[in-house]
Amino acid sequence: MPRIPVLKIKDVLVVSLQVEMQDRLALELQDDVLSTLKRTGARGLLIDVSGLDVVDSFLGRIVADTASMARLMGAKTVLAGLQPAVAITLTELGLSLPQIRTALNLEKGLALLENDD
Amino acid sequence: MSDTPAPITVEVASEEDVVVARTKGKEMAKTMGFGTVDQTRIATGISELTRNILQYAQRGHLTLRPLDTQVRQGLEILAEDNGPGIANLNVVLEGRHQPTRGLGLGIPGTRRLMDEFQMTSQVGQGTRVRCVKWLT
């Protein structure tokens, strides 16, 4: 089964969710992100979701949990590239992800994390 | 209406089936002329309902059916299982259910995404959810 790569740019880990996310893949990603955070001491986590056209409450919870865990390990999370229809649907579902900062795209997300220190 | 899609039933017994079901739902919605946001609402609702089937009943099925009432067209989503059923539906419907896995948002959330929503359940018999999204 494929895994989602966790890339590091300066002090920021970047993951891009582009495929149809299945539960196992999402949970593996959570593990990979946290172990890479520990290994590299990265200060930021950028999650690109521009390729996702469906985010249900399960995946939404994984993203929210991963952000909480990353925060406990000293890293801030930015969610980048949420499609408008997904943003509308997530809010209607009742999942507004209040603790996660968002950016319009990857570039703006990276800038947000880099300018934070 | 030129080409009404045929009804589809998807057996739900694995995570892969959740993706198959919501992909088919989205395709049907698109074929019927639903806009992007409604397509996403439909796909997300299907994802929640099929996930619930897996989690609580292990298996079941999901049927997608175009409706045409002369006055309007809609997409009907029927999720059925023969699982343990739910003793207190109101707790689930009102979002007061606190599951160990998940947020308890699936059912109340799906209800908000759809135009019609009916849920029936009998302990020991199973659960049935019927929703409709109307094409406006």
Cβ–Cβ below 8 Å for A58 and B102: yes
**Domain A7-114 is in which class?**
alpha beta
Looking at residue A21, its pLDDT comes to 65
Cα three-residue angle A91-A96-A98, rounded to 5 degrees: 160
Q: What is the mean pLDDT of residues B111-120?
A: 95
ipTM of the complex model: 0.87
Q: Searching chain A, which residue's CA lies closest to the CA of residue B22? A: A54
Residue B50 is classified by DSSP as: H
Quick check: B121 pLDDT over 60? yes
* A57 interaction partners in chain B (CB closer than 8 Å): 48, 102-103, 105-106, 109
Cβ–Cβ below 8 Å for B105 and A89: no
Residue B102 pLDDT grade (very low, low, confident, very high; cuts 50, 70, 90): low
The DSSP result for A41-70, as a single string, is --SEEEEE-TT-S---HHHHHHHHHHHHHH
CATH of the domain at B18: 3.30.565.10
Beta bridge partners of B119: B129
The verdict on residue B49 lying in a domain is: yes
Q: Searching chain A, which residue's CA lies closest to the CA of residue B38? A: A85
Substitution target in A19, A20, A58 with the highest count of B β-carbons within 10 Å is A58
The residue among A19, A115, A109 whose CA lies nearest residue A67 is A109
- pTM score of the predicted model: 0.90
Number of domains making up chain B: 1
The ranges of chain A with pLDDT < 70 are 1, 19, 21, 117
pLDDT tens digits for B15-58? 999 999 999 999 999 999 999 999 999 999 999 999 999 989 99
